[in-house]
Amino acid sequence: MNPLAAAQVAPGMPASRRIPPLREWLAQGHPWALALYAGLASFAAYSAMYAFRKPFTAATYADVAGWEGVIDFKIALVIAQVAGYAVSKIIGVKIVSEMVAARRGVAIVGLIGLAWVALVLFAVLPIAWKVAALFLNGLPLGMIWGIVFGYVEGRRTSEVIAAVLCASFIVASGVVKSAGVWLMTHLQIGEFWMPAATGALFFPLLILAVIGLAQLPPPSAEEQAERMARPPMAAEARRAFLREYGPGVAVLVFAYVLFTALRDLRDNFAAEIWTELGYAGVSEVFSASEIPVAVVTLAILASLVLVRDNRRALVAIHAIVMAGAVLIGGSTLAFQFGALGPLPWMILSGLGLYLGYAPFNAMLFDRLVAATRRAGTAGFLIYVADASGYVGSVTLTLLRNMPGISMDWLHFFIWLAYATAGICLSMATISLVYFMNKFDK
């Protein structure tokens, strides 16, 4: 008898300790049923989080009365939120790595609840304090990804689940910005109250998604044998991993910093980029450009589940990252020479970006942990990379707004796309050679 089923019917067991029926069904059912369920639940949870993080970027906040900062008000908001997000990632290296499974659901709801309170403060505080409110908004949200990913890592179908999860931050960003524009244009909600209103719309989805995630059974014994056990990872275990594989991790993190900077620029200033491309006020364009990217990215990344050998999977993931870098550079070059229109270019460059960016958030480090045969959590490596990536994003945004730099957002994005394509292609090649040599020895 399945151990979960035995536990379900064990005589004398208190009702509070019996296995929930849905969890038992998921544990006993077909692996693809579990993958579909886990993918949809994690997709819903992280998509809901985006409604508390990204809607403010749909507004331009132009000519804000009372703002006397040395940089544009919206840029100050973006920097403040990303700075809070970066600090959250640094904290998350410890918190996410050491969090036990039973605390994940409460942590997700509690952290996002704090982020919503910060959005209310953003609406009611004086202009100068609104920037601080966005910092407080980003501070709890940076840990949500690692907590959600903790539910799905270390499974035989983790690539499929993670691909669906990664699709959330591609699709959700456009959807919640479209929702924000709709609230402002159709319900006449002001641009300062719009972020809190958007978050409130998605709160029921968040609760349902977290309840759904809580029903997931832990990885089976067979999955732990194939992908390694994923217990909380103490400080000494984290240090030991970096002592053994630090150079390769450092090269990957450097590439991820550039992918993150490009992705954040494209995401946070999408309204400005689309305006410069001739799509001002077209709310549908945010979703129209992201949904095709999400579908293709999901299909490519999910196909990695067919590669059972962890070393071969690691090679395949590096190849996908390299292909993404080439697509970013090639599509941008085609756009500049007039071979691609604005919408096809944004779709293709977005596809290349997310083929390079998304694996770092899930399957790359999940497979790396499995290939090293070390028990631990991929969330630790994800947060080492994320902390560095968002610090880099803040630095780049500040660089763009230094005195003497007057490049518009569209051309700054093009310049960064070329730099990201060239450098990340080189870094992925170096990383692949390093890890293959390391494993051979």
pLDDT per position as a tens digit, 96-123: 888 888 899 999 999 999 999 999 999 9
Dihedral (Cα; 217, 354, 260, 244), 10-degree rounding: 60
pLDDT tens digits for 16-26?
456 788 888 88
- pTM greater than 0.85 (yes/no): no
Per-residue pLDDT of the chain (441 residues; tens, 9 = 90+): 333 443 334 334 444 456 788 888 888 888 889 989 999 999 999 999 999 998 998 888 887 888 887 788 888 898 899 889 889 988 988 888 888 888 999 999 999 999 999 999 999 999 989 999 999 999 999 999 889 988 988 888 888 888 888 888 778 888 898 899 899 989 999 999 999 999 999 999 999 999 999 999 988 888 777 776 677 788 888 888 889 999 999 999 999 999 999 988 888 788 788 888 888 767 677 777 888 888 898 889 889 888 888 899 999 999 999 999 999 999 999 999 999 999 899 999 999 999 999 899 888 988 898 888 877 787 788 888 888 888 887 788 777 777 666 778 889 899 999 999 999 999 999 999 999 999 887
Closest CA to 96 of 149, 52, 60, 24: 149
Hey, which bits of 157-222 come out as E strands? none
Residue partners of 268: CB distance under 8 A and separation at least 6: 57, 78, 82, 397
Per the listing, tokens 């305006």 go with 275
Asked if residues 141 and 114 have their Cβ atoms less than 8 Å apart, the reply is no
SS3 state of residue 122: helix
At 277, list the tokens. 């491309």
CB 400 within 8 A of CB 353: no
Measured distance CA(52)–CA(49) in Å, rounded: 6
Largest CA distance in the chain: 75
Distances (CA, A) of 437 to 75, 228, 241, 307, 313: 44, 21, 17, 20, 16
Fold of 233-440: Growth Hormone; Chain: A; (1.20.1250)
The answer as to CATH 1.10.760.10 being correct for domain 27-229 is no
Q: Where in the chain is the domain with CATH 1.20.1250.20?
A: 27-229
Q: 83, exposed or middle or buried, with CB in 10 Å at 0-12, 13-18, 19+?
A: buried
Q: For 359, which DSSP code?
A: G
Spatial separation of the C-alpha atoms in residues 341 and 346, rounded to whole Å: 9
Question: By three-state DSSP, how is residue 189 classified?
Answer: coil
3-state SS class at 185: helix
Whole-angstrom distance, CA of residue 108 vs CA of residue 168: 16
